[in-house]
Amino acid sequence: MSEHITRLSLLVPGTPASVENWSEALHRGGLRIDRGALRGERLDTPVDVEWVENDDELARAFSFGTVGPDVVAAIAAAPGALVLHWPVDLRDGKSEIIGVVERLRDAGALAVRIEQSKVGWDVAQWLEMFSSDNPWAWHRLAVAFLEDEGALQSCGMHAFSLPDVRVALDGDRRAVHELAAILDVYQLAEDPVLRSGQTFAPNADTPRRVVERWPDTRYPPDHPCHNPFGLWRLGPPGGVARPLGDLELVFVPPLRVVLAAVEAKHGAPLTQAQVEATRDQATCISMESRDAQKLERSRGYADLDPELAWAQWSVARDHV
């Protein structure tokens, strides 16, 4: 397999009975599978590929209501599936990914599941939603919502290199779900520069809430549903924004990497005083927020909020 950061993984069951059969069928569309990767003139870089045999659990992966019973039955009878690991996310690689999924459809693909959220659709509907210009359709395609510990959290926004959203179920469940979905889709539609400590509201009539970027600790770092870009925690209604400067401080290397190295050398968990002293002595540079956002996406993960260094390191140390 090639050396790159996996930004997106797709599980694609289909009728071909082996990698060789898939490669033969894809060849007509200008693609081939060679040395563990999908290759072809349509691809900027190779896409790593795995073959998964049907262990009688494949249909279950698509049995949560987004795929019709006829397609689920066809998946149950399929010999196996490809798993494709893309070095680009759904946003930056949109046209390339659509082109490849079209070729996979023509070669016998039955459905597509995004492993970052475990949300799957039959291949025709997947292409229809993702080919549209509607960010609400992209959100429905790729993002799930989960509840735990009295909060609602989205799952899957890292397929677009974006943070998920987490908000306490402190009111009407439907209104809370709508609020979280709106913030997700706002990110997809506008690609705004959001900063920890700012406030957000979907409209002028809704009380604003403070947003803070936190590490995602719901899943371990090696789990595909773990979001390395973290999540936006929405505070209670009526929050007041934190004063922010025009420029953003960016730690080089990232603060979470520095703290991990210091803690490893220390041989024991750092205290609050040690974490804050390390933060205060670490090297950082001032950047425009958009440039800081680009740097974060290029490295593939978010850093800690320096204002919340101790609280965030306390929960993130096992996820570095």
Give the model confidence (pLDDT) of 187-220 as tens digits. 999 999 999 999 999 999 999 999 999 999 999 9
Q: Tell me which amino acid residue 198 is.
A: Q
Give the torsion through C-alpha atoms of 294, 295, 298, 299, to 10 deg: -150
Domains, the chain, ordered by start: 8-135 (3.30.70), 143-234 (no CATH), 248-319 (no CATH)
Cα–Cα distance between 70 and 42 in angstroms, integer? Answer: 32
50 burial class (0-12, 13-18, 19+ CB within 10 angstroms)?
middle
Q: What is the mean pLDDT of residues 231-249?
A: 94
Q: What is the mean pLDDT of residues 21-27?
A: 97
Q: Is the pLDDT of residue 319 over 80?
A: no
Q: Report pLDDT for 1.
A: 41
Q: For 86-102, how does the pLDDT look when each residue is reduced to its tens digit (9 = 90+)?
A: 999 999 999 999 999 99
Q: Report pLDDT for 95.
A: 96
Q: Tell me which amino acid residue 304 is.
A: L
Q: Report pLDDT for 318.
A: 78
Q: Is the pLDDT of residue 42 over 90?
A: no
Q: For 286-303, how does the pLDDT look when each residue is reduced to its tens digit (9 = 90+)?
A: 999 999 999 999 999 999
Q: What is the mean pLDDT of residues 258-280?
A: 97
Nearest Cα to 48, choosing from 17, 16, 4? 4
pLDDT interval class at 41 (50, 70, 90): confident
**Angle, CA 234 vertex, CA 228 and CA 239 arms, to 5°:** 140
Residues with Cβ within 8 Å of 306's Cβ and at least 6 positions away in sequence, in order, are 249, 251, 255, 279, 284
Nearest Cα to 110, choosing from 80, 141, 143, 144? 80
Q: For 144-186, how does the pLDDT look when each residue is reduced to its tens digit (9 = 90+)?
A: 999 998 999 999 999 999 999 999 998 889 999 999 999 999 9
Q: Report pLDDT for 4.
A: 67
pLDDT interval class at 2 (50, 70, 90): very low
Give the torsion through C-alpha atoms of 284, 285, 286, 288, to 10 deg: -110
pTM over 0.85? The answer is yes
φ/ψ (deg, to 5) at 168? -65, 140
Percent of the chain exceeding pLDDT 70 equals: 98
